[in-house]
Structure 1
Amino acid sequence: MNTIIAFIFMFGLLVFVHEFGHFIFAKKAGMLVREFAIGFGPKVFSFKNNETLYTIRLLPLGGYVRVAGEDPEIIDLKAGQHIGLEFNNDGKVNKIIVNNKSKHPNARVIEVEKADLDHQLIIEGYEVDEEERVSFRVDPKANFVMNETETQIAPYDRQFASKTVPQRAMQLFAGPMMNFILTIVIFAILGFIQGVPADNALIGGVQENSPASEAGLLAGDEIVKIDETSITKWEEFQQVVQNSPEQELSMVVNRGGEQVELSVVPRSLETQDMVIGQIGVQIDLEKSFIKAIPYSFEQTYEWSKLIIVNLSKLVTGQFSIDMLSGPVGIYDATDQVVQTGFLNFLSWTAMLSVNLGIINLLPLPALDGGRLLFVGLEAIRRKPIDPQKEGIVHFIGFALLMLLMIVVTWNDIQRLLF
């Protein structure tokens, strides 16, 4: 049960923060946000506030913010169509009844001759059974009513395409940006709660029955020399140990102001592509709010670099698709992390957040990076790309991503069961 709650919290937080970035910058640019969704598929829960429908959907595969103009508009009035009109106190059309007009006895029914709901916001036509031509102004926030469901119209100035290139680029980039910000915030919290690694090679803890404990190393010892190499940073100490599996190392440590000489033999530890040395020590941690801030940026940078390196290995074939994990694999990993404590779970959440941000910035169709690529091409060409062609590219990309998700999920299930 703890894992289920943790996974729902983590998934909801990562997706909410990402989509909130898209949402808030869409609003800031004056775009009409039709829906803010967590998950895909059938609606589990929904409510509407102002212009936006907020939904939680069944499949935990992501989320989306649906902005007017990104997809073809829902209803297009055509000449000869019979519609019902209702008006506000200013005499402007505020409801356009597309069907079931009998349920709206006060609506004026007309036959459409011309309608422009993008720029001029007018509807022209004839009263049914009369020859008198009529023309009506439409309220910018008028609603279509179809099957008794109301959907707000989207004048062109509220649509995605009407905004400047910087506004659209920022709205697309804001999702990944918020994931990076979340990562920084979580690492800052971790740095403040559990401490920031010391700058020097200061041992904070020694594992029982480890090579370090057998050699006599103690918490508080500062490594100053290994063989004839001077050590000033933990990374230097770590590198020497990892490069020396099953090799005897002569160490000089500073213990309470005294120099102590020790010998230790690192044990071999097999990783995916190499064997490294390990002696069983932990770095000393210093609790400092001031140091927690730069530490959070450093950790975000280091994890970003690691993810990018691994993605490059995937492209060059050094990693295979079989090594990727989907929701099932992430759930299984979350189950293992949750058992090690809340702080490790927070760290895991931060790593997934920066991973989500980077993945979404890849220049692939249907991802934020792919859509940013089209906005960049528009800026270079100085004219927009055909929306239908761009829509087809993103649709194909989305279909391929869903296919990849199915393959990855199936691989996860096989690994867990077999």
Structure 2
Amino acid sequence: MFDIPSWLLVFPVLGFLVFIHEMGHFLTAKWFGITVKEFGFGFPPRLVGVRFSQGGTIYSINWIPLGGFVRMVGEHGDGIEEGKYVRQKPEKNVILVRGRHNHPDFYGLFAVPRDASQEDIRRSYVELVELINLREPERRDRMLHTLQIAYSELSNPEKRAAYDELIKNVQMEPADPPDYYGLLEVATNATQQEIDDGYADLVDLINKKNPDNRAGMLRYAEHAHSVVSDPESRESYDRRLRAIVPQEVSFASQSVLKRTIVLVAGSFVNLIFPIIVFAVMFALPHDVPSGRVVITAVAPNSPAEQAGLTSGDSIVAVNGSELDTHADLMQETMSNLGSPTELTIQRGVFIGNPPAPQPTSGSHEITILVPRVDPPELRVVERVVDPTSEVTLTDARRYQPNLQIGDTMRQGAMGVMIGTYDTRLVERDYSIFQAVPMSFQQMWKVLTLTQSSISRWVSGGPDPGLSGPVGIARVTGQVAESGISPLLQLTAIISISLGIVNLLPIPALDGGRLMFVVLEFLRGGKPISPRYEGMAHLVGFLMLIGLIVVVSYFDILRLINGDSVIP
């Protein structure tokens, strides 16, 4: 198997990348004033959590170490709207909610006895949901949203106790019955006419909802109407309530631009981190292996053969970028699949025993070829009938000496086999003005390499090497044994992958949530039902977990068989 201490490094590596990703969401949400309920590492159930102030953010560590989350109010359309304050009046105990400007004409009341059980509250909630579904199909989503807030408030004994504490010393005339809670939503910019119209709608709703409690509920509505009609009364309740119940600002209440920024912030941090890593690595003095990149074999009918390349030629540079090792050539080639690529060549041959490459010219030549996106697989035969799928044994052995009749010869993008000769360590360092542009170039190379690998896979090429947690752990352990510099490079590459994958339009990912924001924008500001969006994210989450399980299964099979985790 593999060394336990080395593969365990995957936990701090992934943990750090998840942390900075979620920190991107967290900081931008805080910047816009959005209420963040919880900043969590891992997925629930919660292992430990701490809160530094009453009503503040919970910072938690959870049992399932597969990611992290930032739980914002209204993240999935089920939170409390911007500018919301909860009020309770003595005796009548009406909870007033001042709504956001995009709810200018809706008022709702949800009342239950003070000694009501949770089942009583749930039953009353269900009855009112049924009534709204029947009577207000056009305003259903908006009204149910308000009702959900009320249900949440009334189901929380601690909040009800806080409201009681708030109004202990406030004297009001007793009402009959005296022990009801309720909710009324009023827009902060509502005109008196809108308040009056809403009150009329509310009275009609109460009459239809429960005739038995009609008298008591109408008393609450009447009192609430008088309070919200008086700006001084509303401001008075504002001042008293701010000391006890903090204002909660919803993610859902933000503009499309702000929500987009919050959603992409995590991936943005993951994509910025590699640039910083690459810049630091380029700027610090470091040893790099450097040698001559020499062609050891050329495949028949390949782009390299058609360009006139032969065994013994050295490839000095690709598109002006000088090469140190054959790994540099592979990276440059994969970054230019399907595109004309300029090679700087020094002609040479293999001489001696064992054969060693020797230059035959002191000058360099420029040749252009197009690396293939999907190189062919050729079957080795005695006599070629179809040159597009077959190759003679003689030609095949010039490329791969151990091939036999009936074997399959797989070519590379250029159709060359290469090696690095006369390798030595060279110390290099660059100024910050050189290192930063180089880091962006390196970032671009990784992105184009990823895109090329996926394109080849989609078109029938080799597996790009998808790995789950097991595969990533194995590779991390192997790379860590080579030193801190390779480990930092791997961390940067994983960070890039994390940033890109999270932007894919898959429900449960940031890109999936962004997709719903875009749909809301295209629908003229009308959001998708929170219920349907929540279901979509749940399905997406389950699919992602399933994919992780499947990929990890194949990773484990490779380990059992002694194969490389990454094909």
Q: Where does residue 173 of structure 1 map in the other structure?
A: 264
Could you tell me whether the CA contact under 8 Å between 1:169 and 1:372 is conserved in 2?
yes
| Aligned counterparts of 2:314 and 2:5: Cα–Cα separation in 1 | 50
Which structure is higher in strand share? 1
Q: Where does residue 55 of structure 1 map in the other structure?
A: 60
| Aligned counterparts of 2:187 and 2:460: Cα–Cα separation in 1 | 49
Letter matched to residue 53 of structure 1: I
Q: Deviations over 1:291-324 (max 9, x none)?
A: 2211211111111111222233444453559x42
Map of 1:105-116 to 2, 5 A cutoff? 107=165, 110-116=179-185
Could you tell me whether the CA contact under 8 Å between 1:204 and 1:285 is conserved in 2?
no
Distance 1:306-1:272 versus aligned 2 partners, 3 A rule: farther
- 2:522 equivalent among 368, 380, 394: 380
Letter matched to residue 33 of structure 1: V
Deviation of 1:163 after TM superposition, in Å, equals 1.0
| Aligned counterparts of 1:40 and 1:342: Cα–Cα separation in 2 | 30
Q: Where does residue 359 of structure 2 map in the other structure?
A: 251
| Aligned counterparts of 2:292 and 2:316: Cα–Cα separation in 1 | 22
- 1:234 equivalent among 303, 308, 322: 322
Map of 1:241-390 to 2, 5 A cutoff? 248=350, 250-251=358-359, 274=412, 276-280=417-421, 281=423, 284-290=426-432, 291-319=434-462, 323-388=465-530, 389-390=532-533
| Aligned counterparts of 1:269 and 1:352: Cα–Cα separation in 2 | 36
Cα-Cα RMSD: 4.6
- 1:162 equivalent among 248, 253, 277: 253
Could you tell me whether the CA contact under 8 Å between 2:290 and 2:325 is conserved in 1?
no
Letter matched to residue 64 of structure 1: F
Letter matched to residue 112 of structure 2: Q
Distance 1:362-1:282 versus aligned 2 partners, 3 A rule: farther
Deviation of 1:23 after TM superposition, in Å, equals 0.9
- SS for the counterpart of 2:472 is helix
Residue 204 of structure 2 corresponds to residue 204 of structure 1:
no
Could you tell me whether the CA contact under 8 Å between 1:34 and 1:52 is conserved in 2?
yes
| Aligned counterparts of 2:527 and 2:243: Cα–Cα separation in 1 | 28
| Aligned counterparts of 2:402 and 2:262: Cα–Cα separation in 1 | 45
| Aligned counterparts of 1:416 and 1:303: Cα–Cα separation in 2 | 27
Letter matched to residue 204 of structure 1: S
Could you tell me whether the CA contact under 8 Å between 1:329 and 1:412 is conserved in 2?
yes
Distance 1:54-1:267 versus aligned 2 partners, 3 A rule: farther
Distance 1:299-1:393 versus aligned 2 partners, 3 A rule: same
Q: Where does residue 11 of structure 2 map in the other structure?
A: 8
| Aligned counterparts of 1:18 and 1:171: Cα–Cα separation in 2 | 11
Structure 1 window deviating more from structure 2 (7-16 vs 109-118): it is 109-118
> Which ranges in structure 1 are unaligned for 5 or more consecutive residues?
85-95, 121-125, 144-151, 198-202, 212-225, 255-264
| Aligned counterparts of 1:229 and 1:402: Cα–Cα separation in 2 | 45
| Aligned counterparts of 1:269 and 1:63: Cα–Cα separation in 2 | 50
| Aligned counterparts of 2:79 and 2:517: Cα–Cα separation in 1 | 24
Distance 1:74-1:357 versus aligned 2 partners, 3 A rule: closer
Letter matched to residue 355 of structure 1: S
Deviation of 1:13 after TM superposition, in Å, equals 1.2
Q: Where does residue 18 of structure 1 map in the other structure?
A: 21
> Which ranges in structure 2 are unaligned for 5 or more consecutive residues?
81-85, 87-94, 96-108, 116-152, 169-177, 190-212, 228-236, 297-311, 334-342, 351-356, 363-397, 404-408, 562-567
Distance 1:100-1:69 versus aligned 2 partners, 3 A rule: closer
Number of aligned residues: 357
Q: Where does residue 89 of structure 1 map in the other structure?
A: none
Deviation of 1:21 after TM superposition, in Å, equals 0.8
Letter matched to residue 343 of structure 1: S
- Identity among equivalent positions (%) equals 30
| Aligned counterparts of 2:402 and 2:272: Cα–Cα separation in 1 | 34
Q: Where does residue 400 of structure 1 map in the other structure?
A: 543
| Aligned counterparts of 1:97 and 1:55: Cα–Cα separation in 2 | 26
Could you tell me whether the CA contact under 8 Å between 1:269 and 1:277 is conserved in 2?
no
Letter matched to residue 177 of structure 1: F
Distance 1:276-1:142 versus aligned 2 partners, 3 A rule: farther
Letter matched to residue 18 of structure 1: H
Distance 1:273-1:67 versus aligned 2 partners, 3 A rule: farther
| Aligned counterparts of 1:36 and 1:266: Cα–Cα separation in 2 | 56
Map of 1:51-200 to 2, 5 A cutoff? 51-71=56-76, 73=78, 79-82=110-113, 98=155, 107=165, 110-116=179-185, 137=237, 139=241, 154=248, 158-195=249-286
Letter matched to residue 111 of structure 2: G
Deviation of 1:184 after TM superposition, in Å, equals 0.7
Q: Deviations over 1:250-278 (max 9, x none)?
A: 42698xxxxxxxxxx99999999636311
Q: Deviations over 1:153-196 (max 9, x none)?
A: 73xxx111211111111111111110111111111121122449
Q: Where does residue 175 of structure 2 map in the other structure?
A: none
Letter matched to residue 181 of structure 2: V
Q: Deviations over 1:373-397 (max 9, x none)?
A: 3323333343233133333222222
